Structures are given as structure tokens and as C-alpha cells.
Amino acid sequence: MVDLSHIPLDGEAKRQVLRELAQELLERRTAGLALYRPMPEQERFHACPAKVRVFRGGVRSGKSMACYAEVARAALGQDPYGKYPTNRPLDIWVVCYEESNIGRTVWRYLFCPGAYWIIEDPQTKQLRAWDPVLDAGRESERMPARPFIPERCVRTVAWRFKKDRIFSSVIIDPAPGHPMCGTTIRAFSSGREPPQSDPVDLVMIDEDLKQEAFVPELISRLADRGGKLIWAVFPHSKNNALIRLHRQAEQESGLPNPSVVEFRGIFSANPYLPEEERRRTLALWTEEERKSRDQGEFALDSVLVYPEFSPSVHALPIYYGGTPRHPIDSLFPNVMAWMPPQDWTIYVAIDPGHTVGAALFIAIPPPEVGDFIIAYDEVYIRNCDVKQMAQAIKRKLQGRRPEAFYIDMQGARVSTAGVSYTAIKLLENYFRELGIASVRTGSGFYPGSTDVAGRIAEVRDTLITRELGGGVYMPKFLYLQARCPNLEREFLSYRKRVGRTGVDDTPVAADNHLMDCLGYLIAAHPKHVVRPTVADQKERLRKELLNRSKKQRRKNVRLGVLGGGSP
């Protein structure tokens, strides 16, 4: 009971104060955050301390609910895991796909009632979150939950379009005299240039982005304060930034303190949706739609240029239970130091460029080893000049002479910055200077095929598995996984263009440097060529000299006989 004896009020005034205190206590006990009960995957998301957390999921899978609850907890100083400061005001940003999402989604989740349902517990008579199992048949008794951020905590709102509830910033006061008073939540559209300079404590991205440049810029804004980024997202396969974070989360999944962690929300596993509605909805989706809309998986097969590619199929070496799947897998006891044997044929393709300079090395084994094309090494240099490229290629060749060089002739004929020579002329000069030469073209180059569609079709043919006998199925194209990480990355991110009318067959001109190199090589139909080794040449020369000596002796004998005949 609250002691009001020290307040100089009459009885009715004290009763009014008590009523107000009781009302505020009730509001606090039944506030949106107070009754919020996360599902297990949502709880894992809230507990995770990683710098970047991606909550990827299908429709109505709980990803947005978890992220907006996280924003409200941070803004009000109510994070039960202590991930955010509570001794000063915070700066929080929410980034939406377009401006209209701010009113439709951000304002609704944070400042309006109804983010989830609540109901009166029949035993305790207290309000709690509605449970579809415990409360089956009581749907008519449900009530919308109070807002995550109550109106009493909102000091001011800076509106862009008030009638549409589109705001630019909201200032939050968690409670009178609280050290976090003045916490600011700002909302942005991803259609604009990313905001710069300001340090931020928490960034939330809501669904897709128009500009992928937002992600690195937003992450850089977190450095000053050790801030965090969360992303509630449907698996949009056209978003490179999301796919890169997904790959990084996969790579760091076994680390003790990963920088990026990914969580999955599943539509069919959401118990707060009626079971019958879930069943009907799943039945109306195609298999591909179920993967993305239900399971939250990337629907990549329809947009990847090479959906046939898989590291588990095309990588070298691969062993099953300690046994190589094919004799070729056993040829690489030390992958990082491996070089093709002298009787293998080497080809090199080059994609010159300043932003990224790339080269791919392939080897064709003799027929007795198998009908394979093996990408065994790569060059991938950012901010590359022509001399760097030539030096890197020399190091990779280790004194070997490839059969031929192929190059992006169109790009190589463009003059480099500040130099009147074209890249191909400079590269030829550096090749001669460094003693780099191929068997067929010396320090020169064959032009790579400019038929993009044709190159892609031929590469696809080499990716398809074939029966090699004995129940072994393998493709013609293979690659050394440890030596070609950028080739693998480009295979997994090289996409077709996605427009308003859907997916077309034109590849996006990004993440394609080694893809172009591979296309040049495959389109040239590289073959194994029998070239005599130095030892072979010496043996051939020895035999030629020996045969020549024998012929001369026989000739001398014949001449002697003729000269010494009867008179």
C-alpha cells in the first residue's frame, strides 16, 4: 500500500491519487513489452550478443515482431540481457524499403496497440499473452496488446506526413528523471542516400533495401558506440548485401564470438496462427513458394546463373568416409602447394581491371586421368594495376608455360587512367619483361568470347554430372576449393537480372570477374595437348644423333667397298 500521509490532501484527493497510481501500475504491468512472450527462436535472437543479427523468415513467422520488440526494449531500457546502455539517451535508426513503410509498419508495431493478442487468465484473472493451445475456443475474448512504446513515453514526434503516420524522429522518455530520457528513434527510407557521420547505438533494417550501400554505411555508424544491427527480412535473393551476410554467418557459425548470426522464422511453426489456416495456406503455395514463404529459404534457383553449381559436387578433393569418391580426389595430398604435373595442359584467362583484376588458371589432365577441366588457382586483386596483375600471374605459373592466354579484349583495349597505352599493350610489355609466355601466343592473347549467352550455356554443360562407371557421377568441371575461394563465391552470387516483369536471362554485371574468365576458357574448348618434356626432348635429340651417327658409318662402309673393288 502506498503511504500518502505526508501529502497534504483531503480524503477524496488522496483517493484520486491512488486511482491514478493504480491505473499507471496496471498500464505498466500490462504494457506491450511486459506481456510479450517470445517464441524459442525469437528468444534466441534476443539473447544473442552478436554485432549483426539477421532474422530471416517466411511470412508471418515472427521476425518483425522480434526485431521491433528489440527496438522497444532498447529504447525503454528494458533489455533483459543488458546489451544496450541504460545510463544515457540512445540513438536508434529504423531503415525501411520505402517511406510509406514507416507509417504502415514502424509506427504500427512500436506505437499502436495490437502487435499481438492478450487475454485474461481464467485462474489468476490477470492479463497475459494469448496462447492458441491453452485458450482454444476463447478467440472472441482476445484483446489487442498495448503498444510496445506507450504514449506516455513519447515526448515529441517530428512528422513528415502526419495523416499517414510517416515520421522522421520520435523522442522517448522512458520515465520522469530516467537517464535515458531523450532517446531518439529515427526512421529512414532506403531510397535515399545512406545517412552519414552520426554514431548510432542500434540499427534495424525492415525487410528489403533499394540501395545495398546502406548496409556497409550503417555498420560503419555503429563503430563509435559499439552498436548493433538487426535485420528482419524475407529471403530476397536479389539482395547481394543480405546474401553476403548469410554467407558470413555460415562461415562464422562455429566460432565462439561470431560477428554475424542468422536466425530463422518458419511460418508453419508459428503457434499463434490457426492450424487450419496454416494448412490451407501451405496447400496453396507451390514447392518453391513454400521454401521461401514458409521456411524462409533463399529462392535462388530461379535467379542464379548457375543453379547447377554446388561445392559438395564440384569441389576438390572430396572424400566419403575417408575414401576418395574418384581417383582424381587422391591427387592432392597438399592442395595449397599442388601444381599440375608436366604432362597436364594449362590455360589462363584474364579479366583486367582497376577495381578488380582477376585471372583464372585451369588444367586439363591426360585422358588416362579422366575427362576433366580443373580450376586450380586464381588471381583476385582489388585496386589492381597491370604490373601487379603480371607479377601475380608469374608467381602462380611457377615457371610453367601455359598453352594459351585468353583475355577480355574489350576491357583490355581501354586506356588505363593517366596512361596512353591500353591495358593489353601494357600487359604484353610486362609479360615480355618478366619472361611470361604461352606456347601458342608467346606474350600475346587470344580474345575471350563476347557471346555471353553462349559462354554461359557451355559452362552449364560442364557443370552437369555424368556417369563415369562404377556408380560414380561427376561433372566435367571441378575446382580446388582451398585455392579458388573467390571463384566459389562468384558462382554462389552470380545472378540474373530481376526486373518488375520478373527474371530475365541477362546476368547482373557484378560478382562476375572470375565467371567471365571461366566463360572465356570453356568457350575456347580447352584440350589436353601432348607436349614433349625437356627430358623427352633430350632423349629425342640423343636418338637423332645416334641414328645420324649410324647412318654415317653405314655410308662410310659402302664408300670403302666401292673404292677398293677389282681393277
- The three grid cell numbers given for residue 12, joined into one nine-digit string: 477524496
Q: What is the pTM (predicted TM-score) of this model?
A: 0.58
SS3 label, residue 263: strand
pLDDT given for residue 404 in this prediction:
95
CATH of domain 31-112+147-294: 3.40.50.300
pLDDT given for residue 558 in this prediction:
67
- Note the residue count of the chain: 567
pLDDT given for residue 412 in this prediction:
58
Spatial distance between the Cα atoms of 258 and 251, rounded to a whole number of angstroms: 9
pLDDT given for residue 460 in this prediction:
93
Q: Give the ranges where 369-477 is alpha helix by DSSP (H).
A: 386-397, 409-412, 423-434, 452-463
pLDDT given for residue 388 in this prediction:
92
- Print pLDDT tens along the chain (567 aa): 445 455 555 666 666 655 655 555 556 566 778 889 888 889 999 999 999 999 988 787 889 999 999 999 999 999 999 999 999 999 999 999 888 899 999 999 999 998 888 898 899 888 888 888 788 889 899 989 999 999 999 999 999 999 999 999 999 999 999 999 999 999 988 877 666 668 899 999 998 887 777 788 888 889 889 999 999 988 764 566 787 888 788 888 878 899 999 998 888 777 777 777 788 887 887 766 777 777 777 655 557 888 888 888 899 998 877 889 899 999 999 999 999 999 999 999 999 877 889 999 999 999 999 999 999 999 999 888 889 999 999 999 999 999 999 998 876 555 444 443 577 888 999 999 999 999 998 888 999 999 999 999 999 999 998 888 777 889 999 999 999 999 998 998 888 875 544 455 678 777 789 999 999 999 999 999 987 666 666 676 777 777 777 777 777 766 665 444 443
Q: Kindly provide the residue ranges of all beta strands, DSSP E only, lying in 107-240, ordered along the sequence.
A: 117-120, 127-129, 143-144, 154-161, 166-172, 183-189, 202-206, 228-233
φ/ψ of residue 52, rounded to 5: -125, 125
CATH fit for domain 311-523, picks 3.30.43.10, 3.80.10.10, 3.40.50.2020, 3.30.420.280: 3.30.420.280
pLDDT given for residue 470 in this prediction:
76
pLDDT given for residue 246 in this prediction:
84
pLDDT given for residue 7 in this prediction:
56
Question: Which residue, chain included where needed, has cell 557521420?
Answer: 197
